[in-house]
Structures are given as C-alpha cells and as structure tokens.
Amino acid sequence: MTRFAASIAFALLTLCAGASAASAMTIEQIVSPSGIHAWLVREHAVPLVSLNYAFHGGSTQDDALKAGTAHFTADMLDEGAGDLDSKAYHSRLEQHAIEIGFQVGRDYFRGSLRTLNEHRDEAFDLLRIALTSPHFDADALERVRGQELAELRRETTNPNELASRSWWSTAFPGHPYGRESSGTLETMPRITADDLRDYVHRVFARKELTVSIVGDIDAETAGKLIDRAFAGLPANNNLKPVPTATPSNLGRRIVIDVNVPQAVVNFGGQGIARHDPDFMTAYIVNHILGGGSFSSRLYREVREKRGLAYGVSDQLVWFRRAAVVIGGTATRGDRTADALKVIESEIKRMAESGPTPAELDEAKAFIKGSYALSLDTSSKIAAQLTQIQIDDLGADYIQRRNSLIDAVTIEDAKRVAKRLYGGGLLVTVAGRPKGLTSGTE
C-alpha cells in the first residue's frame, strides 16, 4: 500500500511533464500568398507532411429527399478528376504513396492528406483537381452508388445501426441532424451527378475553409502548397442555414425488433454546447460517469460488478446548432432490462449528487495528462488543430486547457451534473430485450 501511495505522489508531480509535451508544440498562424489562413506545426523527425482541412457544410446541406448527397460526393472525388480518369488517379496516388481521404459529418466536410516530402507537390496537385474538377462520370457514379446501397442494405439488419439511426431520427425529427450522412435506401437512388456538382459549388470555397498542416516543412513552403490545393476555389460558399435544435422525445423508449442474441442500447439527452461556459465541467463530469477509461461509474457498475456487457460508455457530442450526450452498450436479451436499469440509476445518482471530490480530482488528472497522448502523430495533431479552429477556441487553447480544467470546482461539477443528466433520456434498443417494450415513462 505504501508503494501505491508513493506512485500516486510521483504521478502528480510529473503531470505537468505530460501536459508540457502538448504545450511545447508551437502553432504558427500563417497566411498563404493568396490569403488563405492556416495553422502550421513543424515536425522534423519524420519526412512527411500531414494536411487536415474542413469546409463548413456537411450533410446538413443535403436535400431531405436526397439525403446522402454530401457523403456520395466525398466517395466520388477520387474517381476521376482533371485530366485523369479513375484508374489513372488511383494509380498516381499509389505510385507516390500519397494518401488522400474525404469524410462527411453533419456540419463539416473534412479532408486529410499525407505524403512523403519528396512527393508533396504532386500530392497537393492531386488534391486540387479532386476539389476543383471532379468528373462524376456515369460509370464510376453507378459503381460507387452500388457500393453505398450494398452497405445500406447490410445495415438494415445490423443492431448497432438500427439503434443509432432510430435514436438520431427520433431526437431530431425533420431536422438535418436527425439524418445519417450516408443517406437511405430511398434517397440514394435519386441522387444525380448534377446534385454532386451542386454540392461542390456551394460548399468548396475559401470562405469558412479551415486548414491545418503538420510536418517537416517551413511556413513559406506550406503557404505555397496550400495555394496549390485551395487558391483556385471560389471565394464564397452558399450554404443553407441550419436551425437550432434540441433533442426531442426525451423520456421515450423505442424497441426495434431484430433477431439477434445481443441487444444494442443507445441512450442520451440534451448536451452542452462547445462554447457554453459549463462545457469543460460537463466534459469532466461525463468522463466520471461514462468516459472511455476503465474507471468510469458505468464501466464499474455494468461491466466490472455485474458482467452485463463488454463495453458501456457515453460521450458529449456537439454540433454548431445542437448538443447531445449519448451513450451505448450491448447486452444479452434476457439481461438488457437489468443493464438499462443500472445505467438509468447511475445517471439519476449523478444528476442528484454529482461526483465525489476524489472522482473529480482523478478525472482532472486523467484529462490533463492524456492530452499529450492524443497528439502523438502528425495526422492526429493536424486533425486536432482543425477541431480547435472549428470550435473557435484560439491558438492558445492547448496552453490554456490545463487551467480551464483546474478551475472546475466540486460545486460546478454538481450543478452541471444536474444540468446534464437531469433532463430525461431517449432510449433506443435494437434486438429482442426480454420485458422491454416501446413507450413513454
């Protein structure tokens, strides 16, 4: 026991070391010759460049009848562009080991690029043509559509997908946040090449473009590369506004019948916006209840003590116009009701009494110390820089983060626990849970 105490003391003393790993990183705010702003972190140890960027306007820009348009566009950008057809484009990427990826979320279209230094001009050229002159040839369009429809058909019997889709569509009925970005079996067949072109023209612009670059590169070269990819884009985007929303149907439970041995449960409610002064407190309190470590209350009660599930966790999810807290677990049908009861009672207990001072201290220590580990590769750093820019937290956020965490008091934690978990839950269950039916509390 003595040894344990000593370890803890040692640990606390050196926490700052972990944090300094992150804060030692220097973010340079650069402007390209054409006027595009970007954040740069120089990293000389590995001869590569990682680019991460985002355009405002993700699946929220889809027409409801053509849900999946943004997602479909992302899957089509490398299927022929500029003077290269699909095969030639892919071949060029592989010849130079260039990795280019596109990803659609609700609010943003995000992209990443990774290249060895020696091929960086080629890499940024390939990115430029994908963003500015994608072909959307009929042949490739039907091939990729076929792949997406196959995936959507697979999902119709996948309990994870069923529980998740039901949760989001019930929480945000009629709102773009209620739709999965991958669309549906009904909407995907309606989407045309013109729809993809329309999305590209409305979203890919220098306005509301966020760029982060990490690698063995100086500011001048980085600026030139950024221009190589993005300078040719139109100045302005043309986005549909997205209304502010709060999750509805809290207090409801929906059971979706699917014949699987293990039922999948999603639960969640109103979250806290990223710019809300209580956000960091909420983040810490949520870590204590059901964050991803082996020490959360849900993990201990559901898994460790009762063996009800392999995994259980919850997290804060924030958008520009809404915020939720959402979690999940999966458990055999004859014990799903037990697992749900334990989860609901832990959430209620957290809302009523908040965390203990010891839990708060431990969570703060973890959240401060683990940040450095989340910034351990060039690609992860670049993605995090984009997130910090999107969330408008400022280039000094990494330096300020520890003091924001330290400032959270136990009173704050108790107040925010009530705010976060006191508002009722929407629960969706996909499977054959014994004794559970759809209904309202």
Partner 1 sequence: MIFRRDVVLTAAAAIAAALATPVFADEAANKVADFTLSNGLELIVIPDHRAPVITHMIWYKVGAADETPGKSGLAHFLEHLMFKGTAEHPAGQFSQVVARIGGQENAFTSSDYTAFFQRVPSEQLKTVMEFEADRMTGLQLTDDVVLPERDVILEEQNQRVRNNPPARLGEQIDAALFLNSPYGKPVIGWRHEMEGLTRDDAIGFYRRFYGPNNAAVVIAGDVDPQAALKLAEDTYGKVERRNAIMPRHRPQEPPPVAVRSLTLADPRVEEPSLQRDYLVPSFKTAAKGESEALEVLAHILGSGSNSRLYISLVVDQKLAVSAGSWYDSTAVDLSKFDVFGAPRPGVALPQLEAAIDAVIAQVADKGVTPEELTRSKTKLIADAVYAHDSQASMARWYGAAIATGATVGDVEHWPDRIRAVTAEQVQQAARQWLDKRRSVTGYLIKDTSPQVEKRS
Report DSSP state, residue 134: B
Where is 287: in which H helix or E strand?
A: helix 279-290
Q: Min. distance of Cβ 222 from partner 1 in angstroms? A: 18
Taking the least distance from each CB to partner 1, the nearer of 57 and 159 is: 159
Say which residues have a Cβ less than 8 Å from residue 5's Cβ, sequence separation at least 6.
none
Task: Considering the complex, state which of residue 11 and residue 65 has its C-beta at the smaller distance from partner 1.
Answer: 11
When the beta carbons of 65 and 97 are compared against partner 1, the nearer one is 97
In our burial notation (b when 16+ CB lie closer than 10 A, e otherwise), range 408-428 reads beeebbbebbbbbbebebbbb
- Tell me whether residue 376 or residue 441 sits nearer to partner 1 (CB atom): 376
Phi, psi of 210 (to 5 degrees): -115, 130
Q: How far is CA 7 from the centre of its chain?
A: 35
Angstrom distance (rounded) from CA 207 to CA 106: 18
Q: Which is nearer to partner 1, 271 or 328 (CB)?
A: 328
H or E stretch covering 15: helix 2-23
Q: Are 342 and 308 in contact (CB under 8 A)?
A: yes
Smallest separation, CB 378 to partner 1 (Å): 5
Nearer to partner 1, 86 or 286 (CB): 86
Radius of gyration of the chain (CA): 23
Task: State the minimum distance, in angstroms, from the CB of residue 333 to partner 1.
Answer: 10
DSSP string, 295-350: T-HHIIIIIITT---S-EEEEEEE-SS-EEEEEEEEEEGGGHHHHHHHHHHHHHHH
Do residues 53 and 107 lie in contact, with contact meaning Cβ atoms separated by under 8 Å? no
Number of H helices, E strands in the chain: 15, 14
Cβ at position 228, least distance to partner 1 in Å = 21
CB of 257 to partner 1, least distance (A): 11
C-alpha dist (Å) from residue 434 to 55, 161, 262, 336, 438: 45, 20, 11, 7, 12
Q: How far apart are CA 350 and CA 346, in angstroms?
A: 6
Neighbouring residues of 139: CB distance < 8 A, sequence distance ≥ 6: none
* Cβ nearer to partner 1, comparing 34 with 221: 221
Q: Select 53 or 366, whichever has its Cβ closest to partner 1.
A: 366
CB of residue 140 to partner 1, shortest distance in Å: 8
Name which of 98 and 326 has its Cβ closer to partner 1. Answer: 98
Q: How far is the CB of 44 from partner 1 (least distance, A)?
A: 7
Nearer to partner 1, 106 or 335 (CB): 335
- Both tokens assigned to 18: 């972990």
CB of residue 4 vs partner 1: minimum separation in angstroms? 6
Task: Name which of 72 and 108 has its Cβ closer to partner 1.
Answer: 72
Beta carbon of residue 347, minimum distance to partner 1 (angstroms, whole number) = 21
Euclidean distance between CA atoms 368 and 54, whole angstroms: 27
**Amino acid found at 149:** L
| Dist CA 271 CA 420 (whole Å) | 6
- Least separation, in Å, of the C-beta of 110 and partner 1? 19
As measured in angstroms, the least distance from the Cβ of 414 to partner 1 is: 22
Can you tell me the distance from the alpha carbon of 427 to that of 325, in angstroms, rounded to the nearest whole number? 12
Determine the Cα–Cα distance for residues 158 and 151; give it in Å rounded to an integer.
11
